[in-house]
Amino acid sequence: MSFDAKKVKDDIVLWIREWFENNGPGCNAIVAISGGKDSSVVAALCVEALGKDRVIGVMLPKGDQFDINVSKALIEHLGIRSFEINIKDCFDGLMGQLQNQLPEVSVQAITNLPPRLRMSATYAVSQCMNGRVANTCNLSEDWVGYSTRYGDAAGDFSPLSFVTVQEVKAIGRELGLPDMFVDKTPIDGLQAKTDEENLGFTYAVLDRYIRTGVIDDPATKERIDRLHKINQFKLRFMDCFHYEP
């Protein structure tokens, strides 16, 4: 099935514009910037929808971030305002409290704490700058749960939740983004491994499976299906007890 990047790009731009008219007339789009394809494409879409004066980028290193110059280059390319909020002191302070109080701090807790601190900082910027926070997750990441609930999975509006990685790249090229942003190796800037190394398969393989149902390796299919099943809770609204008096 062919993907019409121009049409989808134009549709998303219109959707963003209408969303802001209904949910925050005059508000700014606040985008956590990593310099990768997702945040680059979301920021560029917001610029086209709202104008560069209504888009604000937030860089969120944890100490020294080896690839933060890419984020700065994107901000300069788009001509948007930006802030750099370093979460290292906050992370270290909270980890110290957790280690003092808990018998053990799990690896999962340590891994997910920085994305949640990043989102807290992004929302703080948003509330200080008359903003609405953009979610930058894509369909491929959401499909296998490669996101942190109440971290990078949070946001007020989400332009890319039904768009795969390959489709995001096509939209990025349609937006005229340089290859250094569209083709940057997916990595969160918090650890040495890339997204695909952590997942155990490539996004190209995952995207093909999502869109066509075709996959060559049975073991990879089994892993993707298992990840998709166990991470469904991340995509639902919070489960609530329903009471009718």
* pLDDT single digits (tens) 5-16: 999 999 999 999
pLDDT given for residue 98 in this prediction: 98
For the whole model, what pTM was predicted?
A: 0.93
- Residue 166 buriedness (CB in 10 A; 0-12 / 13-18 / 19+): middle
Give the three-class secondary structure for 231: coil
Tokens of 26: 């005059």
Domain boundaries defined on the chain = 5-235
What stretches in the chain show pLDDT beneath 50?
Answer: none
Tens of pLDDT, residues 49-69 = 999 999 999 999 999 988 899
Q: CA-CA distance, 195 to 65, in Å (whole number)?
A: 16
Homologous superfamily assigned to 5-235: HUPs (3.40.50.620)
Residue 172 has a pLDDT of 97
Task: Name beta bridge partners: 82.
Answer: 57
pLDDT at residue 134, as a whole number: 98
Sheet of 55-59: strands edge to edge? Answer: 81-84, 55-59, 28-32, 131-133
pLDDT at 191: 67
